[in-house]
Amino acid sequence: MTGFLNLLKPPGMSSHDMISAARRALGVKRIGHAGTLDPAAAGVLPVAVGQAARLLEYLELADKSYRAEVLFGVATDSGDDTGNILARGEDSVPEKATLRETLASLTGEQEQTPPAHSAVKINGRRAYDLVRSGEKVNIPSRRVHIKDIRLVCKREHSIVIDVDCSKGTYIRSLIITLGERLGLLTTMGFLLRTRVGDFSIEEAMTLEELAARGEASLLPPETMLSHMNRYNIMASRRKAFCNGLATGVRDISEEGTYCVFSDGAFLGIGRYSGKSGELTPVKVIQQEAGA
C-alpha cells in the first residue's frame, strides 16, 4: 500500500492525532505527514503511506496557500486568539484602499521570525514545549517568499485574507507584521490551509470519508509532485536506476533533484550533477518501478 492522502484536518485535532486515525483506518504502520498544522488550525494535511513516506521531504518544498482572519485591537503571546492577551488597543479596521496597499507591501522575499509558540525545533525540542516549560526561546529568522496576499472581506473588527507563500512561512508572524505597518495591534483568528502544492482543499477528505473509501483513497505519488522537475530515462537504464546506479545524461541543463520516469512509470527521485553529467538515484520507489 503506497501513495498519498489528501486529508482535511478539523480544528481541535493535532496533526499527530490525524496520523493515528489514518493509521487505524488503513491498517498500516508506515505513515507520515508533511507540514504540521497547529491544533486550532484546519485544512489540507498531506499524508504519505508506505514507500511514499520517503518522498515527504520533497513534498514539504511545495508552496502553500492559506485563508486567515486578522483580528484588530489585540496582541497575544502566541500571535493568535488561543494565547494570553498582552495588550489591547484601537480595534477599528482601516479602509480597504489602505489595507490593499499595505498587504501588497508585504509580498516578495522577506526575513521572518517564527513565533515562539510554534513547532520549530530548537536543539531537538519544539519551541512551544520550551515556552511551556518556562525556558527562553530565541528563534532565528528565515527567508520566506510571500507570492500574493488578497483581501477577501472587511468586517467591523477584523478582515479575512488569502495568502500564497513559500514553505516555512508563518501566517501569525505575517499578521503581526501587517499590524506593525498599519500602526495597530493584530493577532490571528482562524487559520485554514487551502493548498499544499497539488493538494487542494476542494479535494481533501475527512477521516470519515477515508474510513469509508479505504485504500481507494490513495493517490499515486508522482501525481502530487508537480512542483518538481521531471526527467524520463531510457527504458534500457530503468533496471540500473532501480538498482541505485547512475546514468549519464546530456539533455539536462540545470543541476538539482528530479522526479524520474521511464516509459510513463515513476521510478523515484534522482539528482543531476553538472560536474559528473550523471543522474544518480536518491530515492527509488520500488513498487512503482517494478524492480
Q: Is residue 63 flagged as an active site residue? A: no
Residue whose C-alpha cell reads 521572518 in the numeric block: 112
Q: Rounded to 10 degrees, what is the CA torsion of 82, 165, 13, 81?
A: 10
The phi, psi pair for 20, rounded to 5°, reads: -60, -40
Distance from C-alpha of 33 to C-alpha of 20, rounded to nearest angstrom: 11
| 123 CB-near residues (< 8 Å, 6+ apart) | none
With the C-alpha atoms ordered 89, 91, 95, 98, is the resulting torsion angle positive or negative?
Answer: positive
Residue type, 224: M
Burial of 31 (0-12, 13-18, 19+ CB in 10 A): buried
Name the catalytic one among 38, 91, 129, 148: 38
The phi, psi pair for 98, rounded to 5°, reads: -65, -40
| 61 CB-near residues (< 8 Å, 6+ apart) | 167, 227, 228
Distance from C-alpha of 153 to C-alpha of 104, rounded to nearest angstrom: 15
Scored b (16 or more CB within 10 A) or e, 255-286 reads: eebbbbbbeeebbbbbbbeeeeebbebbbbbe
Residues annotated as catalytic are 38
